[in-house]
Amino acid sequence: MVSDFPLRPGETRRLAGEAEQRALGAALAGALPAGAALFLEGELGAGKTTLTQGLVGALGFAEPVTSPTYALMNLYPAPSGQVLHVDAYRVRDVAELYEMDLAELIEASRLSVIEWGEALYADYPQAPVLLLEHLEGDPEARQVTRRR
């Protein structure tokens, strides 16, 4: 069942720590329809993978969820459908990802989470974009803003 998306475009929310980052991920899992893509942006350590852990966990995957920085793509076989997790940070040209069957993997997935995917925005115009940022003065807190 798809619920309302937890952030409106342009809305910003403070997340007090990792538990709230994971809780937002879980809320996103319930709000995104099957086959959806979600873009996550933010500097290193801003909480993109932590948010993804909450999202993938809410879809029933109980094993560790890690950043795909070096593998570029991780697949998580969740009970409600496969989740694709992409990290495009080290990709010079998005054609590299398409050569790795990105389009087919997205199509076959319950949900696709793409970090650092600015070059793919035009290909997935309906996909929400979330920016995660550190908050000065509180090393545990993050700020998340829905860009679209």
> How far is it, in rounded angstroms, from Cα 121 to Cα 67?
20
pLDDT reading at 68 higher than 90:
no
Percent of the chain with pLDDT over 90: 86
> How far is it, in rounded angstroms, from Cα 132 to Cα 90?
19
pLDDT reading at 3 higher than 80:
no
Mean residue pLDDT of the chain comes to: 94
pLDDT of residue 2: 59
Encoded tokens for 38: 């979600």
Confidence band, pLDDT 50/70/90 cuts, at residue 91: confident
Confidence band, pLDDT 50/70/90 cuts, at residue 8: very high
Q: Which of 54, 78, 8, 98 is nearest to 86 (CA)?
A: 98
